[in-house]
Amino acid sequence: MSLAHRLLNIEVNIPYEDVSRAWKTQRTTWSAAVVYSATTKELAERALLLLDALVPTCIKYYWPDPDAYESMYASIKRVAVAEQADPRGLVLRAAFQEWEEKVLPKPKEAELPLMGNGKPDYYTFGSTGPELEVGDKCYALDIRMVWCSATIVQRQREFSGQMLYKVHYEGWKQRWDEWMARDSGRVRRDMPPSSLKGVSSVDMFSGSRAAPQTAPTTKAKKEPKATAASKATAAGTAAGSKASSVAAKRTAMKKMKQRLKSVISKRRGSKDDVESGEADSSAKSAAPSGALPPPPKNTVPIEPGEDVAIGDMLMALDVRNVSRPNPTPPARAHSRYTLPVSMT
C-alpha cells in the first residue's frame, strides 16, 4: 500500500460534516495532486491541506488529547517545509498509521471469526504496485482479509490518475468481482514460496517477510500399544471430530456467504427497502384517485400569491407520490407563477 493511497483512503473515510464547506470544491484537484506527488515533501503538503480542512469538533473527537494531534501535525509539517528529509517516507508512514487508527472503522466483533490474517503489502514512496494487464493471473486480498487466486478482467484510470484493477476471484461468481487500486497493496503477482505460505504481508520498507508464529515443538512421549477396543474407540472419536470439523467449516462458510450477500445488498439496495417500496406502491394504488395525504403537524399552508424568501425552510409534497387518473394532469399553482405538473 503506497503512502498516496493511504492518504486518499483516510480522506474517503472522513465525513463531509467533519471538513470545511470549501473542501467539496477542492477535493478533485487535491486527489489528483496526491496521486501525482513526486516527492515526500509534496505529499506532506497535501496532508497538511487535509488537516487544515478539519473542523475543530472533528479534531476534538478523533484526538481527545490535543498534544497527540499537535505532535502528528508537527511531524508532517517538518517534512512539508523541508526541515526533515524523508526520502523513503518513513516519517509520513508513522504519521499516517496514527491517523488511520483514529479515522478508519474497526471490524465488528461478530465479523472477527470470519476474518483472516492477511494484510496488504506496504510500499516505499514512489512504488505503485505490480503492473498487470487484462487476463493476467494474480493474487488479491478480499474483504475477509484472505489472499485468493484471481484474474484481472478489466482496468481503468480514475479522474485522479489512479490505476484501478477489476479482479475476478477464482471459484466465485462474477458478482463478487471487485475494483481495487494498483497501489492499494491488495494485488500481488505471486504468492510467497511454499516455505512461507503463512506470511500475511510483505513490508517493502524493510524488505523482509514476517514468518508465521508456530507452536513450540516438544518430543512426544511413548504411549503403550493400543488394544483393538481402544483402536475402535479412537477411530470413532476421529470420525466424530472430522464430521464436526466439516460441519463447523460449512457453518463458517455459510456465515461468510451471508455476510458477503449483505454487503452486496447494501450496495444495490436491501431487500427490505424493495419490499417496503412495493408495499408503498400497492398502498398508493389502493388509495382513491387524486387523494392527497394529510399535511404534517405544526405546519402552516402557503396562501396563493404569498411570497417566500430564499433560504426559508418549507415542506413540499412530491408530485410522484400523488396518483392521478389523467395522463395530462392540471397545472398546479405556484407562489409566483404557474407550472404544469408532469408525470415522471
Q: What is the DSSP string of 281-342?
A: HHHHHHSPTT--PPPPTT--PPPTT----TT-------GGGS--SSSSPPPEE-SSSEEPPP
Distance CA 217, CA 210 (A): 20
Q: What is the pLDDT of residue 162?
A: 82
pTM of the model: 0.53
More confident residue, 310 or 322: 310
Are the C-beta atoms of 175 and 189 separated by less than 8 Å?
Answer: no
Q: What is the pLDDT of residues 44-87, one digit of tens each?
A: 999 999 999 999 999 999 998 889 999 999 999 999 988 888 88
Residues in the chain: 344
Mean pLDDT of 272-278: 53
Q: What is the pLDDT of residues 166-207, one digit of tens each?
A: 999 998 999 999 999 888 888 988 775 433 444 444 444 444
Q: Does residue 223 surpass a pLDDT of 60? A: no
Q: What is the pLDDT of residue 196?
A: 40
Q: What is the pLDDT of residue 102?
A: 86
Q: What is the pLDDT of residue 236?
A: 62
Mean pLDDT of 4-12: 88
Predicted confidence band of residue 134 (pLDDT cuts 50, 70, 90): very high
Mean pLDDT of 27-38: 88
Tell me the C-alpha to C-alpha distance, in Å, between residue 222 and each of 218, 227, 277: 13, 15, 69
Q: Does residue 6 surpass a pLDDT of 80? A: yes
Comparing C-alpha atoms, which of 299, 323, 325, 330 is closest to residue 312? 299
Q: What is the pLDDT of residue 290?
A: 53
Query: What integer best gives the mean pLDDT of the chain?
Result: 74
Q: Does residue 7 surpass a pLDDT of 70? A: yes
Q: What is the pLDDT of residue 127?
A: 79
Q: What is the pLDDT of residue 326?
A: 44
Q: What is the pLDDT of residue 99?
A: 87
Q: Which of these ranges, 12-21, 143-152, 270-279, has the smallest mean pLDDT?
A: 270-279
Q: Does residue 15 surpass a pLDDT of 90? A: no
Tell me the C-alpha to C-alpha distance, in Å, between residue 162 and each of 35, 37, 157, 165, 287: 6, 12, 6, 10, 51
Q: What is the pLDDT of residues 97-112, one digit of tens each?
A: 888 888 888 878 887 8
Mean pLDDT of 18-31: 88
Q: Does residue 336 surpass a pLDDT of 70? A: no
Residue 259: CA atoms inside 13 Å, Cβ hemisphere, count? 17
Q: Does residue 150 surpass a pLDDT of 50? A: yes
Predicted confidence band of residue 152 (pLDDT cuts 50, 70, 90): very high
